[in-house]
């Protein structure tokens, strides 16, 4: 039977998405094209991307749906199934400032794509479009719904407008849109994890030089389970930007001790131990996490390559504890989800995923233990928090694509 994120299920949901498109946008002679763009879950390297460290995320089989139909009047019409208020504008007159609404993500990407297109001096004018967004990824839950929309938009419009951008350039457009138009100082992990996904693999991404590699993962031996706390990440944007700033302040204070260091990732454990007392207490805590997490992420890579999932899981749980105690981005709900999962035999490890402050945890478990882990986590969480969390197995994904029904 197809699971909730399986290929069959995705096709069925996209079929419904096309029906929703017609009811929102009306019938028309032009063909509606359908696209899927995954979300991502980060397994290793918590809050390392903006410190230039290594990360190991994977794209997941839940994501954003786009239904797109060309129109001849040069108008871009954006709608979402999650919001009755859309946006219309004429190509060439894109909004110049953000609105604080979801439309900022696609508008930011469209602006980036048009800049590329103008710079390339292409002769073929781009056409207007009706676009309906939807999906099966919880929004604001730490599974990167924003990068899913941005990379998905860059991919789909590159196809529809035939811009000829390669995948790496599409990822860059998505990243620039979030940083420059939406104004979040996000690291590079999320759009890379989505845009460069390969099924059956984690992405090993070195955020210092943007080099990457796909590392195989054996889903016969290890399942990835996601538990949603149901708590929206209220503080996320402000607190996230604060962590980015604190890490950069810690680096400013440490760099004089490490010749040639370009980012916090370059501060080695020995130099940090020697000079940590020079940092004010909060910065010392943040740096403690980053320095140890870099070492841990390299060790986790080795454990993955060795197929040692017990050890891999221990690193994951250590990451959670450091994110909780040193980086202070966890919450009582996330801690409870992690601790409950760890009580079940066959659970290798667990941690919060994404920025933290709410959203989801990820659990690595032996496939035979998954039902028990899910049942136990649901039972403890609902008994203590009065709310039944979604706990589901997620599969990997191949990245953004057009889907024909
Ligand atoms: C958010 C950001 C990512 C990364 C994670 C923390 O998801 O978008 O770039 O910094 O937090 O690992």
| Pairing, β 128-135 against β 75-80 | parallel
- Please report the atom of ligand 1 found closest to the CA of residue 144: 7
Q: What is the CATH number of the domain that holds 209?
A: 3.30.230.10
Question: What are the φ and ψ backbone dihedral angles of 121, each rounded to 5 degrees?
Answer: 65, 30
Distance, in Å, from the CA atom of 64 to the CA atom of 41, rounded to the nearest integer, reads: 14
The ligand 1 site (C-beta within 6 Å) comprises 42, 46-47, 49-50, 186-187, 189-190, 354-355
* Interval 295-319: pLDDT, tens: 999 999 999 999 999 999 999 999 9
Q: Catalytic residue among 49, 130, 190, 266, which?
A: 190
Note the pLDDT of residue 4.
45
* Interval 83-110: pLDDT, tens: 999 999 999 999 999 999 999 999 999 9
Ligand 1 atom 9: the closest Cα is on which residue? Answer: 187
Provide the number of structural domains found in the chain. 1
Q: What is the mean pLDDT of the chain?
A: 94
Note the pLDDT of residue 117.
77
Q: 290 with 247: CB under 8 angstroms?
A: yes
If pLDDT is split at 50, 70 and 90, which confidence band does 242 have?
very high
Burial of 141 (0-12, 13-18, 19+ CB in 10 A): buried
**What Rg, from alpha-carbon coordinates, does the chain have?**
21
The boundaries of the domain holding residue 207 are 7-217
Q: 6 with 395: CB under 8 angstroms?
A: yes
Residue 324 lies in a domain: no
Give which of 224, 236, 237, 270 is closest to 397, Cα–Cα: 224
Note the pLDDT of residue 141.
86
> Average of pLDDT values for 138-142?
84
Residue 308 lies in a domain: no
Contact residues for 269 (Cβ-Cβ < 8 A; gap 6+)? 291, 292, 295
Note the pLDDT of residue 395.
93
Residue 230 lies in a domain: no
Q: 101 with 85: CB under 8 angstroms?
A: yes
Residue 98 lies in a domain: yes
Residue 122 lies in a domain: yes
If pLDDT is split at 50, 70 and 90, which confidence band does 323 have?
very high
Note the pLDDT of residue 120.
67
């Amino acid at each position: 039977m197809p699971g909730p994120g399986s290929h069959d299920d995705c096709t069925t949901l996209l079929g419904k998405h096309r029906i929703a498109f017609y009811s929102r946008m009306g019938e028309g002679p032009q063909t509606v094209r359908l696209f899927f763009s995954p979300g991502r879950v980060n397994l290793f390297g918590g809050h390392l991307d903006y410190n230039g460290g290594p990360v190991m995320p994977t794209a997941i089989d839940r994501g954003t749906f786009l239904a797109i139909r060309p129109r001849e009047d040069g108008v871009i019409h954006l709608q979402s199934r999650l919001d009755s208020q859309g946006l219309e504008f004429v190509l060439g007159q894109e909004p110049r400032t953000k609105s604080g609404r979801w439309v900022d993500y696609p508008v930011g990407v469209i602006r980036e794509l048009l800049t590329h297109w103008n710079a390339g001096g292409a002769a073929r004018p781009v056409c207007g479009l009706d676009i309906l967004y939807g999906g099966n990824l919880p929004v604001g839950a730490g599974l990167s719904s924003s990068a899913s929309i941005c990379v998905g938009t860059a991919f789909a419009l590159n196809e529809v407008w035939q811009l000829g951008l390669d995948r790496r350039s599409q990822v860059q457009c998505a990243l620039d849109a979030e940083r420059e138009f939406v104004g979040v100082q996000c690291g590079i992990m999320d759009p890379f994890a989505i845009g460069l996904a390969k099924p059956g693999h984690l992405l090993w991404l070195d955020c210092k030089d943007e080099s990457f590699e796909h590392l195989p993962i054996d889903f016969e031996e290890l399942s990835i389970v996601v538990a949603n706390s149901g708590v929206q990440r209220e503080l996320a944007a402000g607190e996230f930007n604060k962590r980015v700033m604190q890490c950069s302040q810690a680096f400013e204070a440490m760099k004089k001790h490490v010749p040639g260091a370009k980012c916090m990732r370059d501060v080695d454990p020995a130099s940090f131990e020697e000079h940590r007392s020079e940092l004010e207490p909060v910065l010392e805590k943040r740096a403690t996490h980053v320095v140890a997490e870099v070492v841990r992420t390299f060790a986790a890579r080795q454990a993955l390559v060795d197929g040692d999932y017990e050890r891999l899981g221990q690193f994951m749980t250590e990451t959670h504890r450091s994110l909780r105690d040193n980086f202070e981005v966890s919450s009582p709900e996330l801690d409870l989800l992690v601790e409950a999962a760890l009580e079940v035999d066959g659970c290798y490890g667990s941690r919060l995923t994404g920025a933290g402050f709410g959203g989801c945890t990820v659990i690595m478990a032996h496939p035979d233990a998954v039902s028990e882990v899910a049942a136990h986590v649901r039972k403890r969480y609902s008994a203590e928090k009065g709310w039944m969390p979604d706990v589901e197995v997620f599969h990997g994904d191949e990245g953004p694509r057009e889907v024909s029904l």
